[in-house]
Structure 1
Amino acid sequence: MNRFFKDLHKYKNYTIYASKSDLKSEVAGSYLNWLWWILDPICFMLIYTLIFGVIFKAAELYFPIFIFIGLTMWNFFNRLMLSSIKIVKNNKAIVSKVYLPKHILLIEKMGVEAFKMGISFLIVIIMMIFYRVPVTWNVLCLVPILITFFVISFGFSTFLLHFGVFVQDLRNVVQIGLRLVFYMTGIFYNLETRIPAPYSDYLEKLNPVAFLMTSMRKALLYQETVDWLWLGIWFVVGILICMLGIHTIYKNENSYVKVI
């Protein structure tokens, strides 16, 4: 791990510059430019609110914000997982000419998606003010929840980066798996009320994305504290996954250029 942190420090300027370049190129040629980062999650939130809040009459309090928090966290996770599969091949021009620790590519992509998530959470704050959501000290739980969320996401993405170099059809398989996880995570419904016990506990606790998403909603919307035991468990699990994934990348990254 010492090598990992040294590389983080050594390539931090590259990471920041590459993240900014990706953000600029993403909206280049678009009439609305960066406004799409706001309009995209809002439009999906309105669609899901209409379908599940009006047509299916979802009873969750502050349902539009409930949906928006779920979409914000899911979009970060989903985009990072899918992009990590082809991230080495998509950066072939760089990695084939100069040495660059491959996990730096992931961190750069995380920076891009974290910036978009930050914009979405600003919208969440505005919506909480509009709906007059009571605020307690539990909102501070947002910080450890996000840290755990980033650790878990980075850990999974390291393995997708590695296997994505060697397995051509991995993206198709992962897309199917993510679609299943999407419906099992409770993005547009409450796992605790819609799924009978004890299955709701299994779906929530054993699915880190569902657990962290539910915890975020409880902290921001419902003035509830997080389950610190399970938050700690998933943080430790995430660290272990990260360590194993980073070790796998360092061990095999010299062979990536030969394959791509």
Structure 2
Amino acid sequence: MKEVFTLLKEQFENIGIIFRISKYEDKAEYQSHYLGLVWEYLYPLIQIAIYWLVFGIGLKHGSTTHGIDYLPWMVIGITPWFFMNRASLDASKSIYQRVGMVSKMKFPVSVLPTIKIVSNLSAFWTMLVFSIVVGFLYGVMPSIYWIQWLYYFICMIAWLIAFGIFNSTISVLVRDYRILLQSVMRMLFYMSGVLFNFETNSFPAPFVHILQLNPFFYVVSGFRDSMLSTNWFWQKPTLTIVFWGMILFFLLVGSHLHYKFRSRFVDLI
């Protein structure tokens, strides 16, 4: 547990550095492209258009989900997913890509995954505003339940930090892990309720209960509960306990491995 507190302390003590470097990386990544940072927002919009045409119009024929039109339902769920997916993959290779540079200066390696998470936030805020606008166009009005999206935002960041420190460390220790993680994230895209609602009678109850334990599903469904439904997060205590339990597990294991092998990262790479 001491390693977890050390990890969190390094994040808070270097919060200024995290935001400065993440801002620099945003500009550096797209500086050679004609549209620059526009691609940060254009790519997810193109993906949303494709999924809406295929699943919303092609397969569902414009039907509704829980009385909500498919487009706002899908957009509100896919917004946190896009952010979590990209942040998870970027964080997993953050140490592998930068450890040679930071090893030559006084710099806490543990903040590298967090930098990748923060650098993806600008696209998330834009997508969130876009999803709210789409909701307005389809008659989704603000309610008191909207305030709990702050809770789910905290959940999302906490999960990404725990998952990121674990993945970034394992990626250094096991070279093939990053490839495995990419495949797992593709599978989780369809198992997190992003494109379709599996909480129906069409799926066996035991199967649904297993899928609900997925932390990505907890965040995605949480954003939908906040924006579209009338459910508070404390109304699903079991899933909440499981979610925070998984965060604690990945923090404990990830921080332990990180501090155990940190001095050997350069040699391992």
Task: Give the structure-1-normalised TM-score.
Answer: 0.90
For 1:256, the equivalent position in structure 2 comes to 265
Distance 2:82 2:110 in 1: 20
1:225 to 227, 232, 243: 232
Among the aligned pairs, what percent are the same residue? 23
The total of aligned residue pairs comes to: 260
| 1:20 and 2:23 matched | yes
For 1:100, the equivalent position in structure 2 comes to 107
Task: Give the structure-2-normalised TM-score.
Answer: 0.88
For 2:64, the equivalent position in structure 1 comes to 59
For 1:246, the equivalent position in structure 2 comes to 255
Residue deviations 1:100-157, cap 9 Å, x none? 2222001111101222211111111222222220322111110111211221222122
Higher mean displacement: 103-112 or 203-212: 203-212
Which segments of 5 or more consecutive residues in structure 2 lack a partner in the other structure?
A: none
Could you list the structure 1 runs, at least 4 aligned residues long, displaced by more than 3 angstroms after superposition: none
For 1:50, the equivalent position in structure 2 comes to 53
Residue deviations 1:208-250, cap 9 Å, x none? 1112211211220233333341224412431342243223212
Distance 1:26 1:256 in 2: 25
Distance 1:69 1:203 in 2: 23
1:114 to 116, 121, 128: 121
**CA RMSD, aligned part only?**
2.0
The answer to whether the Cα contact below 8 Å between 1:41 and 1:68 also exists between their aligned partners in 2 is no
Residue deviations 1:141-187, cap 9 Å, x none? 10111211221222122111111112111111112211221111121
2:189 to 176, 182, 185: 182
Distance 1:68 1:181 in 2: 17
Alignment of 1:197-208 (within 5 A): 197-199=204-206, 201-208=208-215
User: Residue 23 of structure 2 aligns to which amino acid in structure 1?
Assistant: K
1:2, CA displacement in angstroms? 4.2
